[in-house]
Amino acid sequence: MNLISLGQSDLKVTPICLGTMTFGEQVSQQTSHAILDRSLERGVNFVDTAEMYAVPTRKETAGATETIIGNWFESHPGVRNRVVLASKVAGPTRATPWIREGTGMTAADIIASCEGSLKRLKTDVIDLYQIHWPERHVPAFGLTYYEPRKETTTTPILEQLLALAQLVKAGKVRYIGLSNETPYGVHEFVKFAEQLGLPRVVSVQNPYSLLNRTWENAMDESCHRLGVSLLAYSPLGYGLLSGKYDQSGTTGPDAPAEARLTMFESMRKQRWGRKESWETGKLYNQLARDNGLTPTQMALAFCYTKWQVASTILGVTTVAQLDEDIDIWGTQLSPEVLKEIDAIRKQHRDPAQ
């Protein structure tokens, strides 16, 4: 894997990123450290986390993932300099009142969150600091439409950007990014950065998979023209594109007991738990098998080879899963398979958007 630059920055990352939201909930610290070790051994230099992790989010485990990563840095002298570390500040009003209550996300909120993350991560600087979701009301996390009547924003984008700029100036953050964003949000952050000489966002972390290609509806052109990179999360659709739920669904007698959609009812109530997501996932999985591929191979190869994707974020619970996912790097999908993929999307669109 060749290193790539994120956006218009000199931040060099691998096109595979290790996602860590399972650390501290499904995955113990010991196994988390083994996964981190193996990831680095396999050449992956990019690690993504967030202040609200582990997931599903709970007051008892908020910050646990960052603490586990910080303990790994502490127990492995010198390893911090080999890793590009990304974390995220939680937005408001999304089932995380122990982090931030109500509406708004002030400059003070952002700075305090960063300070907390630095302490837990046991580092002096975060290489890529992202806003986890917009302070605005946006169509994300299963919402399809923007509804002005539901708008509750109280913190201007400029105020948020100025706070991030303060962190960059202080040397606590190298570069900034967004997550779960829309074209409007990206354009506003870039506009203010260019007008006022403030830090420019280098990336957006949004869902992208066979079950959710909404990035291609407008975000791809916006970010391509603005020079902002996509970090694709949930490339396996919370496991729906691995084939493991095909027979019994998420709650049937043969459902994988330790898989997240089986374990956590709260996740089954989200976009990944929709009947249409499961049914469409099975169509893609069968297409893979019909063409001599595993479902995981086809789903990840799709993300790995799309021009829109700078780096694909992998969420795993074992070292074996990590190895399987990295081994798929280099797999090419035939024009015929890509045509069939597009045919399924044309009929079923984006069920997990």
**Whole-number pLDDT of residue 255:** 78
Q: What does residue 299 show for φ and ψ, rounded to 5 degrees?
A: -65, -45
- As given in the structure block, the two tokens for residue 294 are 């595993």
pLDDT for 315 beyond 80: yes
Give 120-176 pLDDT, tens digit per residue.
999 999 999 999 999 999 999 988 999 999 998 999 999 999 999 999 999 999 999
* C-alpha span between 342 and 336 (Å, rounded): 10
Predicted TM-score (pTM) of the model is 0.96
Give 338-349 pLDDT, tens digit per residue.
999 999 999 999
pLDDT tier, 87 (very low <50, low <70, confident <90, very high otherwise) = very high
pLDDT tier, 93 (very low <50, low <70, confident <90, very high otherwise) = confident
Percent share of the chain, pLDDT over 70 = 100
pLDDT (average), residues 37-65: 96
**Whole-number pLDDT of residue 110:** 97
Give 190-232 pLDDT, tens digit per residue.
999 999 999 999 999 999 999 999 999 999 999 999 999 999 9
pLDDT for 99 beyond 90: yes
pLDDT for 268 beyond 90: no
pLDDT tier, 250 (very low <50, low <70, confident <90, very high otherwise) = confident
Catalytic residues: 53
Q: Which domains are present in the chain?
A: 4-238+309-331 (3.20.20.100)
- As given in the structure block, the two tokens for residue 26 are 């499904």
* C-alpha span between 109 and 90 (Å, rounded): 9
pLDDT for 266 beyond 80: no
pLDDT for 270 beyond 90: no
Mean pLDDT score across all residues of the chain: 95
pLDDT (average), residues 33-45: 98
